[in-house]
Structure 1
Amino acid sequence: MASNILICGTCYRRSKTIEAVKYCTDCEDGFCSECLDFHENMKVATSHHVIDIKVVDEITFNISKFCKVHSDMVLEYFCSDHDALCCRSCMANDHRSCDKIIPIEVAAKDVKSSIMYEEVITDVCTLGTAVSELGDKKKKSVSTLGDSKVNYQQEVQYLQKSL
């Protein structure tokens, strides 16, 4: 794992700092081995997806599973007409006339093998390379600027002495 250590969320809420060994993507929380055992044996969490904690560092963004309008409602549907995720309340209120509302699981099926996904991956790699190149150019510019500063200071000192 990188420099960030994820603490068990359950232990943290009990004022303990124990390192997490697994991460539940549904709870959006880390678990130590003891709390993980309880989590896996709770009926409500049997369908949750638990991943290795080392993978969490590779996750670059986090999408909330809860509706922004109805914070107590879970996002369950995807509206193709509006290209938006929605909960049951939003679906009934705002997307009643929409034709293409499907469960998120159906919309996400085979997404990793789609052409659009491959294009996004390629674009992200290209952007990563561009950011890296810009960082290198910045370092060179700062270095060159520092060298120029030293040269100009020497020239000023030389001129002062000659005057």
Structure 2
Amino acid sequence: MSVQKYLCGPSFEEKCEIKVVVYCRECEAPLCDYSKRDHARITASKRHKLCELEDVPPSEIQELLKNLIACPNHDKDEVVYLCKDHDTTCCNKCAMSDHRKCEEVKVLSDFVHDIKMDCSGVRTLLHDLKPQGENLLEHECKHEEFVSEIESKALSSLKTIKQKLLDMYAQLKNEVLSAISDKKKVIGEKKIKKILVSC
């Protein structure tokens, strides 16, 4: 993100437009050099994590992250605990009300410290999985082509069957109408004979 997009949050509130140098993740505010020094001196904010502007995630990602850590029952509270008994995350309120009797409720940060994952191992695993993914994608594409080919053949066969049925129907219709016409002639001839005989 470019530096020009940001103005210092605290300075901006004081109607000063000062360009920023860092971003506070906890406060979700951009800070100028002066506000950065104040942030480091104040007890409440001195442990806040500051990062470079280039490392600030886009607003959509920040919103997604907020939604991910929001408590499903108390949307203004962040999830702090993981209840292993119910396999769910919860905030302080939920932990006190719904998970008080659960045996394994741990602070999420403890799990983060307990899990030590080697990123190079994950990178290697992803690298190894890449050809399998490409093969699977290629297989799916071929399968899709095969299904399209079958669909095309089925439509062609159905068209042929429809035409044959229409031809059979037309032939049957002609035969029935011809038979009816023949019967009408016979009936007409019999009527004429009766009339002639009666005269």
Normalised by the size of structure 1, how large is the TM-score?
0.55
Q: Is the 8 A contact 1:79 1:101 kept in 2?
A: yes
CA distance in 2, matches of 1:70, 1:97: 20
CA distance in 2, matches of 1:13, 1:67: 30
Taking structure 1 as reference, are residues 73 and 17 closer, same or farther at Cα in structure 2, changes over 3 Å only?
same
- Equivalent residue for 1:33? 33
Taking structure 1 as reference, are residues 54 and 9 closer, same or farther at Cα in structure 2, changes over 3 Å only?
same
Q: Is the 8 A contact 1:78 1:85 kept in 2?
A: yes
Shift of 1:82: 4.2
CA distance in 2, matches of 1:31, 1:69: 33
Larger radius of gyration: 2
Q: Is the 8 A contact 2:81 2:91 kept in 1?
A: yes
Shift of 1:29: 1.6
- Equivalent residue for 2:100? 96
Equivalent position amino acid for 1:55 in 2: D
Name which of 96, 111, 127 aligns with 1:107: 111
Secondary structure of the equivalent of 2:44? helix
Shift of 1:22: 1.0
Unmatched runs of 5 consecutive residues or more in structure 1 = 127-163
What do residues 113-153 of structure 1 show as CA deviations (whole Å, max 9, x unaligned)? 279x949x95xxx8xxxxxxxxxxxxxxxxxxxxxxxxxxx
Shift of 1:76: 2.6
Secondary structure of the equivalent of 2:19? coil
Shift of 1:20: 2.1
CA distance in 1, matches of 2:49, 2:83: 24
Q: Which has the higher contact order (CA 8 A, sep 6+)?
A: 1
Q: Does 1:76 align with 2:80?
A: yes
CA distance in 2, matches of 1:67, 1:94: 13
Taking structure 1 as reference, are residues 68 and 39 closer, same or farther at Cα in structure 2, changes over 3 Å only?
farther
Secondary structure of the equivalent of 2:5? coil
Shift of 1:70: 4.4
CA distance in 1, matches of 2:57, 2:19: 14
CA distance in 1, matches of 2:82, 2:36: 31
Normalised by the size of structure 2, how large is the TM-score?
0.47
Larger helix fraction of residues = 2
Q: Is the 8 A contact 1:2 1:57 kept in 2?
A: no
Identity of paired residues, percent?
Answer: 24
Shift of 1:79: 2.5
Shift of 1:68: 6.0
Q: How many pairs does the alignment contain? A: 123
1:1-163 correspondence to structure 2 within 5 Å: 1-2=1-2, 5-57=5-57, 61-62=61-62, 63-64=65-66, 67=71, 69-70=73-74, 73=77, 75-109=79-113, 111=115, 113=117, 118=122, 122=126
Shift of 1:96: 2.2
